[in-house]
Structure formats: C-alpha cells, structure tokens
Amino acid sequence: MTEQDQPLSGVRVLDIATFIAGPFCGTIMGDFGAEVLKVEHPKDGDPMRKFGTPTDCGDTLAWMSESRNKQCMTLDLRTPDGNAVFKRLVAEADVVIENFRPGTLEKWGLGWDVLREVNPKLVMLRISAYGQTGPMRGKPGFARIAHGFSGLTYLAGEPGRVPVVPGSTSLADYMSGVWGAVGVMMALRQAEKTGQGQVVDIGLYESVFRLLDEIAPAFARHGTVRERMGPDVPQVVPHGHWQTKDGRWIALACTSEKIFARLCDVMGKPELAGPDALGPTRNRLARREETNGLVADWVGRQNFDELMVACDAAGVPCGPINSIADIFEDPQYAARGNLVTVQDPRVGEIVLPAGVPTLSDTPPVLRHAGRAFGADTDDILRNLLKMTAEDVARLRAGGVI
C-alpha cells in the first residue's frame, strides 16, 4: 500500500512539540499517512533524542520509535526569519501540534490569533500540564505530576503503602497524544464542513482523569474515596494477580457471578458458588480476604500451563502477566504483527511496536524509524516553500536553521 492510499494522506502536520505528549499525536497520524514535519530548534533539538536508551547513531531507541514516519527539519521560531518561515509553513499545513507552556507561542508572536489569520482552516493541538486556562495554566509538569494530580497515583500500590508509578511508563503523555489525535480528527472534520479551524486544548492530567471509571460520581453521590487496593478492584472479587506453583504470575478476572461459578468448577469446589456461600457478588465483597485466599491457595498448587488450559476450557478469563521477554515469544503478538522489524540506515535492524488501531483496508504503515537531526530541512524548504539554495544558505548562516 502506498502513502497515497492511507486515510490521512494529504494531511500535513507541523509538529513543533517536544518529548512525548504532543509528538505522539503526530506519530499516530504519521502511521496512517499524514505528512508530519518535525520542527526542532537548530541548536538544542528535541530533548527526546537523548531520552532513553542510546544507540550508535546518538539518538535513543525512544526517538527511533516515537519519531518514526516524520520528516525532520530545524528552525528557530524565536528569530524574525524563523518566525516568517514558520508562518509560510502554517499556510501550507492542516495541523500544528505544540506542547509548550501556555503563553510561550504568544510571546514569540505565534499564538492562535496570529496563526488562524495565516490559515483559517488550521487545527492547533495544544497540550500542556494543566491546559490553557485555569489558575494552574502556567505551571510546568510532566507525566509523573499528571499521574498524581489526576488521582491515578493515589490508587496505585498496596493498601497503606507508598503510592507507586502505575507502570514505569509516561502514561499521561501517551494518553494525551491519543486524545490529541481524536481531537484533531474531529476538528479536521469540522473544518471540512465549515472552513474554520479550532484549538484542541488538553491538560496532561485530564487525559488520565477521564479514564478513572466511577470515582467522580461515587464521591459526589456517596462521599466515597477509593483507596489503594493492590491488584484488587472495588466492584468485584476475585479480580487480581496470583502466582502459580512454577513461579509465573497470572491475572484472573471474575466480573460476574456466572464466571465465578465456572472458576469454582475448575477449582473442584462448585459448592462455593452456592447462594449461601460465595456465589452472590455481595457475599464475596463482604468476604474479600477469604475469597482471595481460596484462589491464591488453588493457583499456588497449579503449574502455569495446566492452569491456563483449565481456565480456557471453562471460559474463565485468565492470562499471563508478561514481561517484554515474554511478549517477544508470544504467538498472539506474532499473529497480530504487533512487533515490526525495520532496517534503519543509521542503526541497522530495529524492532518497533506496530501502529494502532488496525484498519481492515488501510492499516498503519511503518515507513521508517526516527530520522537524523535536520535530515529533511533543505528538502522541505526547497520543495514545499520553493526557496532557492541561496535562501536556504542565508538561513543556515544566520543560525535560523
């Protein structure tokens, strides 16, 4: 499939953001055919190039993965010439992605009011720690701060113990990129209908807070403050993590009384599912520790493979808690093509996560890994803006590119 066949072919995106949150929106769009121009400062570049595990070419594996499918150019937006060049690029673009602290682009004379005059159909994604409004709009923040502010970190960890990072990943950044892509798609659709673009405004914490199921209505109605529960959840039990006889960890989820009855049959204790025993959900919630203890004792006497076979046969949702080493050996990941191997001219063979979601006719395409610093500057200026070689040389001599 060619780039022109993809759903976002013909959409041009200017990614002037740094690190993950904003740029990940550009990555998603690039996976589906958008032309994404990654704009970096000519001296410092995007710090993401140095964030993570370094490679022989100097850029990290994180950069190679999350800056894939993007053309890379340099431009100092703070200089008069850079400012003017950027406006010319905006005139030819559909989307601008930025995640500077609110007010930064305005200080450079490149705020929304200016850019929408240049291009009325422009869609602008603005991701910041707390959004463009409110008393905290000017505060800096990263994913860890967002996890705490959103309420997620408070829920992560064992009861009475220190709150933990929910996985050693920048979840809020990636989630903001996903929400950003959804917002940009909706805004582009509206621009098609009306000829008018708009701003998509996301605070990092909002991207996570929106995912925390019923904690807001439960507090508003009943004053319930959910506490840390380790692997448990408040609504159902057993619904957690247990270790098998041979040392593997499994996740098991009994989200209904029917599923619990199936588990009881597998455990060889069907009587536990009776109406006067642990069958009703309310009984299990009232006897959570006892219920979890019974499951832990049974799982601890089973080898992983035999347990999985028994649960699968009975229709009990159960699965492994995988390390990345497990994932690389898993046949489901292989069958779905979730890991993609590409040949990169700078680092050789590299394995990257595939794009999501899978579309039946126009799936995501990984054309190349993250490019070298400024690799496409000349081509973009010469081909898109029709600058002469002398124009480009003058910008480079002045430190603008």
Alpha-helical segments (H) within 99-232: 104-107, 112-118, 143-150, 152-155, 171-194, 204-209, 215-222
Alpha-helical segments (H) within 300-388: 304-314, 324-329, 331-336, 377-379
Instruction: Answer yes or no: are the C-beta atoms of 92 and 385 closer than 8 Å.
Output: yes
Closest to 385 in 3D by CA, of 88, 36, 118: 88
Q: What residues contact residue 366 under an 8 Å CB cut-off, 6+ apart?
A: 31, 68, 69, 340, 342, 352, 354, 355
Length of the chain: 401
Looking at 15, 46, 94, 173, which residue is catalytic? Answer: 173
Number of Cβ atoms within 10 Å of the Cβ of 183: 20
* 173 flagged as catalytic: yes
Distance separating alpha carbons of residues 279 and 174, to the nearest angstrom: 40
Q: Identify the three-state secondary structure at position 142.
A: coil
End-to-end distance of the chain based on CA atoms, in angstroms? 34
The set of catalytic residues is 173
